[in-house]
Amino acid sequence: MDSETPAGSPVPHPSLSRDLQSEASVPALLHSLHELRNSVLSLAANKEHIFSGSQSQDISVWDKKTFTLKRTLQGHTGSVLALEIAKERDWLFSSSGDSTVRVWSTVELTPIYVLVPYLETGAGDLFSLSWSPTLQTVYVGCQNTSLQWYDFGEQVASASSSAASSPHTQPSSFTELTTSVSGTSTPSTITRKVHKFFDSYPQYERKPADIYARNPTGGTNSPDPDNVCAPPLHGYLSIPAVNVIDSAHYGYIYCMAILDTKDSVQIATGSGDEAVKVWNCTERGPVFVHEFECSHGAVLALVARGETIYAGCQNGYVKVLDLETKTLVRTIIVQESVDILAMSMLDSDLYTCSADGFVKRWSASFDCTASWKAHDGIILSSVISRGGLAQESGFRLITGGNDNYIKIWEIAPPKPRKDTSPFGQVPAVDGVLPNMDDQPLIDTLTYALSKFVSIPSVSSSPAHTEDCRQAAIWLKKCLGQLGAHTSLLPTGEGKNPLVLGTFQGTNNGRPKPRVLFYGHYDVIPAPAEGWDSDPFILTGRNGYLYGRGVTDDKGPIIAVACAAAELLSRRALGLDLVFLIEGEEECGSAGFARTVKKYKAKIGDIDAILVSNSTWIEEDKPCITYGLRGVVHCALEISSDRPDVHSGVEGGAVMEPMLDMVRLLAALTDSQRRVLIPGFYDDVRPQTEEEKELYKLLSVVTQQPAASLSSRWREPSLTLHNLEISGPKNATVIPALVRSQVSVRIVPDQDLDTIVKALCAHLDTSFESLQSPNKLKIKVEHTADWWLGKLDDPWFKSLESAVQDVWGVAPLRIREGGSIPSVPYLEKEFGCHALHLPMGQSSDRAHLPNERISLENLHKGKVVVEHFLMDIAEKCVPNPRH
């Protein structure tokens, strides 16, 4: 094994939300109310009452002071699916599976109106309601995918005027009512599609709406046939055809949220088509504004606060959507594959209610601050209200489930958040950060990195193939939670997928630049020997984080992702940032180019490429890398027709493969280390005077000779890596087979294909000159071209300015002797320049034991990226689009 962490080790939970709950954080259960054999499908509350809509067609009215049943409102002939309070009118709206909306007085607890949707029973179940105090309009979400509304200002006045002039304002039968509404007679019974969440019983036949249902006038707990009230006080209303948007969604409209301010009114609608739509509400009706794709099952619950919408989805995810920028800000993983059927908010605290009976509370920073089992079944509804007594100023979370109970929980608004800086939040002391869950001050960046590092995504080891796949899946979910639209791109059988994630910037009316951030989630092996701590447990010591991949390249990936998320949250992301993260970089990026070409249209146009996959040349001098050498990796094999033989028997009588290999390798360089491949140096770009001055400056900074820096960064070289032999490897055996690996580093303006051909030709010619009966095999295993940035490019100058703004000094311009195959490829494929921002220090020990990265470098690297993205969004013009 490569490390102490076994292959297939447990994958960390994908949620980036910290678990900050404790036993003390769970709200106290104040009271329980029992609905006899009735699932509680809907809830509403005002100052005096709790209203619960049941599966048995009735609405129970509970006294908030005494917690006793005060009245039962009857009239619906189907399950009561939604309740909505119109506080300023003292009204309660209820909608049902019987295709009617009823309006009740919350003071007299008597019916006022019956509102019938357009097409009546053709509208199906009326799943959702929203009331606008500003427009005095109720909005209805229907099973037939229509959005309907009724204006209780203008249209009620019109209806009242018509009623006064007509002696027949009350229809004599249900059939007459439906005919007057839709223009056609609707059958009195219709087969209704059962809803898997609201209905726990087999399919049934819908009864006609009982528009003449009587309600008790006294305070009894059950209907009394001798104690009935009059029909609805103001009669029967119908939604006109002009107040209908057909096919508002491609699925049932399960939920709504109203955003009603003095300046504007908007509603958000959630549907089984996995989308949230936003509508501007005018006096003439809703006007479509924007659609958010949620992509995690039906949207079953919506709440809104300010200009933020929270969408609870069927698969256990909450999407946090920003109305101002029309972007996905965050995804909260509540519990995967467990439906979220109700949500409520108290200030910045979000309460999610799930099908497993759990309620969870989430803070403004998306951390889970409380979680408790609230019901023995599915939680179907929730509402937040103030306490029932005049002297009480506290709040109550009221939940209802299919266990026939209403639960009342004592809750409090969130405490004001302290203004904490992200710097220094991780203790700079020896010791392991225990799951990062017990550290309330640890920021999202470090918390996410702890989970990322815990996955041993060693791409070179077949034993870790599944770990690499899980790392890709985890990263996809991580980017999604931070606000990106994500997917996995397959690279071929047996290869690790690419992770594609796009943070969509604010549309400010002009073309947005699109920047591609390239990185890799795979790491090299981390044998336990030499490490002071487990390489796959993020450990903090003296201001550094230790773990395999923290500097190469998991730390920079998370830092850039958090930078994008930060700008999204501030509505300051003025461009699209596209993450393209591979899992084969440490093994030569197999399948990368082919996959990028295949999915190029999905990736989209790119104006610049950002990379962060190297380190500074010193401890305290920030740098920008503007050049990389290319590489050719070549495997050589010389073999004999004979098997391994004894040197005491055959020595001197056979042509030994080992001697052939030694002579062949010796023909590659001379005693001055110059490469002997013909024409090898012909196209090397001469060093300019500007470069010479730069190397002099760097020589002073690094205390290294300028010639040494130049030879490492901008001159070609050849390296012999190893020799391997067959047989028992003892001193008496002549091996029949010898292998070696050779690499060549190339620089501007050497041509990669020309060098490959010249290397192979030189090896063949040199071997032929040995006149050996043995056989030579040459295999070019991997190549990568050189890369050189544009120092006068406006993108490069913006990056330099960002580094100087954050660190207070101008960055050093450096080159790297290593290679990143994907960088020059991406430049050519997308026709744009690349930029390379190192985050770590020279002592980070990438690929070595005790790999580390400074907390300061990590956090300041994030801020540098923020400054850079904001600057280029303002200054840099996108390339012409194809």
pLDDT, tens digit, for every residue of 498-531? Answer: 999 999 998 777 789 999 999 999 999 999 999 9
Catalytic residue among 199, 534, 576, 585: 585
Closest CA to 268 of 307, 313, 302: 302
Query: In the prediction, which pLDDT does 543 show?
Result: 94
Domain holding 801, by residue range, is: 444-627+787-875
Higher pLDDT, 755 or 4: 755
717 vs 459: CA distance, rounded Å: 27
Query: In the prediction, which pLDDT does 282 show?
Result: 93
Query: In the prediction, which pLDDT does 285 show?
Result: 94
Query: In the prediction, which pLDDT does 433 show?
Result: 35
Query: In the prediction, which pLDDT does 307 show?
Result: 83
Closest CA to 247 of 271, 278, 282, 281: 271
If asked whether residues 184 and 332 sit together in one domain, one would say yes
Higher pLDDT, 106 or 3: 106
497 vs 591: CA distance, rounded Å: 9
If asked whether residues 553 and 634 sit together in one domain, one would say no
Per-residue pLDDT reduced to its tens digit, 293-336: 998 899 999 999 988 899 999 999 999 998 877 888 889 999 99
If asked whether residues 166 and 271 sit together in one domain, one would say yes
Q: What angle do CA 68, 73, 74 make, to 5 degrees?
A: 140
Band the pLDDT of 3: cuts 50, 70, 90: very low
435 vs 231: CA distance, rounded Å: 63
What total of structural domains would you count in the chain? 3
- 585 catalytic residue (yes or no): yes
What's the alpha-carbon Rg for the chain, to the nearest Å? 35
Query: In the prediction, which pLDDT does 726 show?
Result: 92
Count of other CB atoms within 10 angstroms of residue 267: 26
Higher pLDDT, 213 or 49: 49
Tell me what the mean pLDDT of segment 869-875 comes to: 94
- The 3-state secondary structure of 68-136 reads CEEEEECCCCCCEEEEEEEHHHCEEEEEECCCCEEEEECCCCCEEEEEECCCHHHHCCEEEEEEECCCC
Tell me what the mean pLDDT of segment 72-97 comes to: 96
Angular region, 404: left φ>0, alpha ψ -120 to 50, beta rest: left
If asked whether residues 192 and 282 sit together in one domain, one would say yes
Domain C-terminal end among 769, 784, 799? 784
314 vs 335: CA distance, rounded Å: 10
Tokens of 465: 């193939």
**Cβ atoms of 7 and 469 closer than 8 Å:** no
Say which residues have a Cβ less than 8 Å from residue 772's Cβ, sequence separation at least 6.
655, 660
Say which residues have a Cβ less than 8 Å from residue 248's Cβ, sequence separation at least 6.
145, 146, 147, 269, 271, 277
Query: In the prediction, which pLDDT does 863 show?
Result: 96
38 vs 405: CA distance, rounded Å: 8
If asked whether residues 273 and 387 sit together in one domain, one would say yes
CA distances from 463 to 466, 467, 615 (A): 8, 8, 29
**Cβ atoms of 177 and 116 closer than 8 Å:** yes
Catalytic residue among 273, 522, 534, 582: 522
Does residue 597 lie in a domain region? yes
Which of 21-35, 643-657, 795-809 is modeled with the greatest confidence?
A: 795-809
CA distances from 212 to 185, 233, 236, 528 (A): 19, 11, 10, 79
Tell me what the mean pLDDT of segment 550-569 comes to: 96
If asked whether residues 575 and 659 sit together in one domain, one would say no
DSSP-based three-state secondary structure for 545: strand
CATH number at residue 670: 3.30.70.360
Query: In the prediction, which pLDDT does 562 show?
Result: 95
If asked whether residues 594 and 738 sit together in one domain, one would say no
**Cβ atoms of 68 and 49 closer than 8 Å:** no
Query: In the prediction, which pLDDT does 163 show?
Result: 45
Does residue 769 lie in a domain region? yes
If asked whether residues 770 and 821 sit together in one domain, one would say no
Count of other CB atoms within 10 angstroms of residue 68: 10
Does residue 237 lie in a domain region? yes
Residue labelled with tokens 């009316």: 509
- The helix (H) or strand (E) run that includes residue 628 is strand 623-628
Query: In the prediction, which pLDDT does 185 show?
Result: 28
Bridge partners of residue 590, in order along the sequence: none
Band the pLDDT of 168: cuts 50, 70, 90: very low
Largest CA distance in the chain: 125
DSSP-based three-state secondary structure for 750: coil
If asked whether residues 616 and 667 sit together in one domain, one would say no
Does residue 20 lie in a domain region? no
Query: In the prediction, which pLDDT does 607 show?
Result: 96
If asked whether residues 188 and 316 sit together in one domain, one would say yes
- The helix (H) or strand (E) run that includes residue 825 is helix 822-830
Tell me what the mean pLDDT of segment 226-243 comes to: 71
Amino acid at 611: V
Query: In the prediction, which pLDDT does 9 show?
Result: 64
Tell me what the mean pLDDT of segment 468-483 comes to: 93
Query: In the prediction, which pLDDT does 160 show?
Result: 53
DSSP-based three-state secondary structure for 294: coil
Burial class of 707 by CB neighbour count within 10 A (0 to 12, 13 to 18, 19+): exposed
Query: In the prediction, which pLDDT does 418 show?
Result: 43
Query: In the prediction, which pLDDT does 881 show?
Result: 67
Tell me what the mean pLDDT of segment 389-405 comes to: 83
Query: In the prediction, which pLDDT does 198 show?
Result: 41
Query: In the prediction, which pLDDT does 234 show?
Result: 66
What value does the mean pLDDT of the chain take?
86
pLDDT(620) > 60: yes
Does residue 12 lie in a domain region? no
Burial class of 76 by CB neighbour count within 10 A (0 to 12, 13 to 18, 19+): buried
Band the pLDDT of 727: cuts 50, 70, 90: confident
Band the pLDDT of 454: cuts 50, 70, 90: very high
Does residue 551 lie in a domain region? yes
Tell me what the mean pLDDT of segment 479-508 comes to: 91
Query: In the prediction, which pLDDT does 260 show?
Result: 87
pLDDT(480) > 60: yes
- The percent of residues above 90 in pLDDT, for the chain, comes to 71
Query: In the prediction, which pLDDT does 532 show?
Result: 96
Query: In the prediction, which pLDDT does 37 show?
Result: 75
If asked whether residues 152 and 221 sit together in one domain, one would say yes
β-pairing, 327-333 vs 498-503, is unpaired
**Cβ atoms of 758 and 650 closer than 8 Å:** no
Lowest-pLDDT choice from 2-11, 206-215, 532-541, 658-667: 206-215
If asked whether residues 402 and 474 sit together in one domain, one would say no
Query: In the prediction, which pLDDT does 420 show?
Result: 33
Lowest-pLDDT choice from 185-199, 279-293, 322-336, 456-470: 185-199
Does residue 710 lie in a domain region? no
Tokens of 6: 């076994």
pTM of the model: 0.73
Tell me what the mean pLDDT of segment 822-826 comes to: 94
Band the pLDDT of 592: cuts 50, 70, 90: very high
Tell me what the mean pLDDT of segment 602-618 comes to: 95
CATH number at residue 400: 2.130.10.10
Domain C-terminal end among 764, 784, 804? 784
Per-residue pLDDT reduced to its tens digit, 695-707: 999 999 888 999 9
Closest CA to 381 of 395, 397, 367, 394: 397
Count of other CB atoms within 10 angstroms of residue 40: 28
Query: In the prediction, which pLDDT does 204 show?
Result: 29
Helix axes 689-702, 706-713, angle to 10 degrees: 110
Domain C-terminal end among 784, 802, 835? 784
Burial class of 748 by CB neighbour count within 10 A (0 to 12, 13 to 18, 19+): middle
Closest CA to 381 of 198, 546, 257, 207: 198
Query: In the prediction, which pLDDT does 392 show?
Result: 57
Tell me what the mean pLDDT of segment 386-390 comes to: 67
Query: In the prediction, which pLDDT does 156 show?
Result: 64
β-pairing, 833-836 vs 608-611, is parallel
Query: In the prediction, which pLDDT does 138 show?
Result: 97
CATH number at residue 496: 3.40.630.10
What φ, ψ does residue 384 adopt, rounded to 5°? Answer: -115, 135
- Residue 532, preceding peptide bond in cis (omega within 30° of 0): no
Does residue 698 lie in a domain region? no
Residue labelled with tokens 């406006």: 794
In 405-443, which positions are buried (b, 16+ CB within 10 angstroms) versus exposed (e)?
bbbbbebeeeeeeeeeebeebbeeeeeebebbeebeebb
Tokens of 838: 């190192």
Q: How would DSSP label each residue in 427-493?
A: --SSSB--TTTS-TT--HHHHHHHHHHTS--BTT-GGGHHHHHHHHHHHHHHHHHHT-EEEEE--ST
